[in-house]
Structure 1
Amino acid sequence: MEKTRTDAIEAAVFRRLLEHLDSRKDVQNIELMNLAGFCRNCLSKWYVAAAEEMGESVDYDAARERVYGVPYGEWKDKYQREASAEQLAAFNNKNT
């Protein structure tokens, strides 16, 4: 498969992942981290890094808005819940 075609498919998959995450605002970042080892913020950091690798400068807040679909503060105010003691314990156990 040609690189341009592969890139287009991968871009479509990324857009679909963002759509899926947008449809699952009930899934908290700590849950994603505990189960999958990455979260929306990780995707934002990867977006910034990929842009830099291609010679583009993308601000982290702009990347988070791309991933979250709205400014991060707005998403956090509307959808982020306080992490439970169990979630925090699981996160800390994986990261020690």
Structure 2
Amino acid sequence: MGVSDTLLKTELIQGSQAFTKSKVNYFYSDAEGDLEAGSPTFQWYRSTTENGNYEAIVGETEDNYTPASPVDTGKLLKVKITPSASTGITAGTAVMSSATIQITSPS
């Protein structure tokens, strides 16, 4: 059981690379066919490079994140999603998203 496909969608201010908000879209699947138990858990991360070390953003555990200036300027974001099933093996496998584009001017 786990999140078989994780997508990170971002809304951009037209004409720039400035984020207004990042929102998670994901597809849930379970090998046993069990339904998802409510919402998964989320944890947002930031890094200065796409393949660098990502540090958890304290307190950012929702399915969306609004970058803050100046701490997020120049950073890339990822989100880790951990699903859970309503029956059977309930603990899901955490999946990390791909990185966003580099944030140049968060609101």
Q: TM-score, normalised by structure 1?
A: 0.24
Higher helix residue share: 1
Higher strand residue share: 2
Between the two structures, name the one with larger relative contact order (CA 8 Å, sep ≥ 6).
2
Q: TM-score, normalised by structure 2?
A: 0.22
